[in-house]
Amino acid sequence: MEVVALIVALANLIPVDDAVDELDSYMEQGLKYNVTTGDEVEDMFALLSEVKRQIPSITAVSSGAIASDYQRLRVESVCSRLGLVSLAYLWKQDQTLLLDEMIRRGIVAIIVKVAAMGLKPSAHLGKELAELKCHLLQLNESYGINVCGEGGEYETLTLDCPLFRNARIVLDDFEVILHSPDSIAPVGILHPLKFHLEHKPNSFGTIGDSAIAQENSSYLYEVDGAIAHSDVEKKQETLSPVTTVDACTNIDLCISKTGKKLFSIGCWIQDPCGTSEGLKTDLVAVLSRIENQLKEEGLGWMNVLYVHLFISSMKEFGLANEVYVSFITEQKCPLGVPSRSTVELPLVQVGLGNAYVEVLATKEQVKRVLHVQSISCWAPSCIGPYSQATLHGEILYMAGQLGLDPPTMKLCPGGPTAELELALRNSEAVANAFGCSIFSSAIHFLVYCSAHLTSSEKEQVEHTLHSSYITSLDCSNTGSYPSVLYVFASDLPKGAYVEIKPILYVPSPTNDDGVPTREQEAGGSLPASSEAFSAWSAQYSDLDDSCCQVHTISGKICSAVVSVTNDIALKICSTTEQLYHSEEHLKALARFCAFQLAKILIDNGFSWDNLTMLRFYYSVEHSVTADVMSRVFSEAFAELEEGGVGSCTPDGVPIFNIVPVSASGCSTSLSDIISCELLASKV
């Protein structure tokens, strides 16, 4: 897709003292920027505030960040405070290719500062980039410098480029100032003494044309760095939604919780009579309950790694976001905001109100978050309090990825298969930022599909995933394929056909002697199989394991999908009468699921304490309410616990979430009665 950005203003910061080192002007030098009086970032804020005041139509700011999170995050911070969009179309681009393109497109830039090994003030100041290209490439190979100079290796002055329509700058005289005579990496600055403008052929005006000069002068403004920020900040505060977070006492809330150190909390509304007052009220109640649960654990939103946001209508996505940002903000999450996926599910239809939220949280305040809010060609931006991915321990939790064209943030044309292929490329770009790949590091792959897909489109999606992803998997490190589950949702963000949510394994370093790190040693296993459990095993012995996908990594991570198909159900239940409506039959199916999950954990050396996520998806086509499904699974786990296979409800609440969907299964051509999705971790 073609990107069209109209430049309506150019803004420049003039340093007060050229002799001051670049980083000295940044008082706040942490990777995450906090508003700091006197910091140069606040000068940029003042400058852009005035630009926005003079030209209210401005909606975005373009910057040249390529690989520097330090620069990008500061521009994003200012843009966020001013309600602007950050454009960073060079972000994550190959710097060698960028250097080639700048030269090829006629950008004539000379070196005006050097500060790197291999660059000498006497030899290289005043030289054009085109002249130094080969030398810069050699320095990159020898010392790893950024060939575009983003690491401060050099600074440039542009004398000519396609934007200069009337004239080019000609430098007549300059002097070299040796700022630091370091023997390894001397710092030198070129100080222009004399220059003139040279007319360009076929230009629309002449140099010194008084009419042009008079016209342009009315658009030149000088901004004093001491401009007060209060007015802009006050206006920005009014843009932030203020939502009452008092829990609604008349709403019947249910909660689930798994694990110990790394655990999920689910919260939903029990509303079988359909008395909900709407999405806003329900979501406030649910998020308030989760917030209180976190507080009871001595935790807060900063401890949340991931958020699953299920809503009853994607048409109210904007409203859901307003409520969401009144709870989860960057200020409350100093280590980074959690990643998120949002889908529409038939919640009201099964008596779950209008909002259902599940969060993954950790008791450790250690995580690495990737939150790129700038629009670029790299991957879709996340403009708002949710990140592209969150790494905790050795597991990377990636936000739901759509088939969005990164520079335009629009769904790509071509239908479901085109969206899936682009979503895979976007996921790979995010994975690469953490030094891994979806093709060699995937633990589990959740594929959300729109319920509006036709049968042929569903088959095409599965075929595309198989040909573009499954067949390209590198399982040399893990020995098995990641588990894959298709879930059909009522609707997806932006009306997309497909959204994918990978979970990846990013191994942490071991000690020099190969001894695992402390985090890898944690965890236990379920008690040995009891007599009662052995009886269950005998009961299901004639059922093969084809209904189970299990993927383990070094005894530290286990993902599993259990699919209860029609064929499995017919073998479990004694009669086909009212197969999907009889509570007794549902109890039998729930009992089978609980057994299979316990067996998977036992066989792979995991315990219920290691459980980080457990969901049961069921199709609303079977007209079963959520409270019935929850009850039969609670009874199944209670029976399992009585059978001596560990404590399934250590905190007296369910360890599972019941999720209503249009359909689910390990294949798009199958519709499971129940699909089980499990993740356990010892890291």
DSSP states of 494-535: GG-SEEEEEEEE-PPPPPTT-PPPHHHH----PPPPPHHHHH
d(CA 604, CA 152): 50
Q: 102-199, superfamily in CATH?
A: putative n-type atp pyrophosphatase, domain 2 (3.90.1490.10)
Q: What is the pLDDT of residues 231-246, one digit of tens each?
A: 444 444 443 443 444 4
With 90 as the cut, is the pLDDT of residue 576 above it?
no
Residue 396, pLDDT above cutoff 60:
yes
pTM, two decimals, is 0.86
pLDDT value at position 241?
40
Among 392, 388, 347, which Cα is nearest to 367's?
392
* Range with top average pLDDT, 80-89, 337-346, 539-548, 641-650: 337-346
pLDDT at residue 444 is higher than 80: yes
- Find the mean pLDDT for residues 330-338: 91
> What does the DSSP assignment read for 569-595?
HHHHSS--TTTTT-HHHHHHHHHHHHH
Name residues whose C-beta falls within 8 Å of residue 5's C-beta, 6 or more positions apart in sequence.
60, 62, 87
Residue with tokens 């509303």: 271
Structure tokens at 260: 């110990």
pLDDT of residue 235: 44
pLDDT at site 106? 93
Cβ neighbours around 353 below 10 Å, total: 27
* Mean per-residue pLDDT of the chain: 85
Per CATH, 366-508 and 530-682 having the same topology is answered: yes
Residue 330 predicted with pLDDT over 90: no
| DSSP 3-state of 148 | coil
Tens of pLDDT, residues 469-500 = 999 998 876 667 899 999 999 999 999 999 99
**Count of positions (residues) in the chain:** 683
Please tell me the distance from the alpha carbon of residue 406 to that of residue 374, in angstroms, as a whole number. 10
Domain range summary for the chain, segments of one domain joined by +: 33-92, 102-199, 251-358, 366-508, 530-682
What's the pLDDT score for residue 518? 45
pLDDT for 215 beyond 60? no
Q: At what angle do helices 69-82 and 230-239 cross, to 10 degrees?
A: 80
pLDDT of 210 reads 47
Q: In this predicted structure, what is the pLDDT of residue 440?
A: 93
Name the CATH superfamily housing domain 530-682: RutC-like (3.30.1330.40)
Alpha helices in 66-153 (DSSP H): 69-82, 95-104, 121-124, 129-143
Asked if 83 and 74 touch (Cβ cutoff 8 Å), the reply is no
Cα Rg for the chain, rounded, in angstroms?
29
Decide if pLDDT at 585 tops 60: yes
Q: Does residue 592 carry a pLDDT above 50?
A: yes
> At CA 425, angle to CA 419 and CA 429, rounded to 5?
140
Q: How confident is the model at residue 513 (pLDDT cuts 50, 70, 90)?
A: very low
Under DSSP, is residue 398 helix (H, G, I), strand (E, B) or coil?
Answer: strand
Give residue-wise pLDDT tens across range 88-136. Answer: 999 999 999 999 999 999 999 999 999 999 999 999 999 999 999 999 9
Superfamily of domain 33-92: HUPs (3.40.50.620)
Least confident of 105-114, 277-286, 558-567, 641-650: 641-650
pLDDT at 541 over 90: no
Report the range of poorest mean pLDDT among 435-439, 576-580, 586-590. 576-580
Q: What is the pLDDT of residue 573?
A: 80
Per-residue pLDDT for 398 more than 90?
Answer: yes
Select, from the ranges 25-34, 70-79, 372-381, the one with the highest average predicted confidence (pLDDT).
372-381
Q: Which CATH class is domain 366-508?
A: alpha beta
In angstroms, the Cα distances linking 436 to 426, 475, 512 are: 13, 13, 22
Percent of the chain with pLDDT over 90: 60
DSSP state of 423: H
Is the pLDDT score of 173 beyond 60? Answer: yes
Between the two ends of the chain, the Cα-to-Cα distance in Å is 42
**Taking residues 340-356, what's their average pLDDT?**
95
What proportion of the chain, given as a percentage, has pLDDT over 70?
Answer: 83
Model confidence at 532: pLDDT above 80: no
pLDDT of residue 198: 93
Per the DSSP assignment, residues forming a β-bridge with 557 are 553, 681
CATH H-level superfamily of 251-358: RutC-like (3.30.1330.40)
Q: Which residue has the tokens 């069921």?
A: 618
Q: Is the pLDDT of residue 524 over 90?
A: no
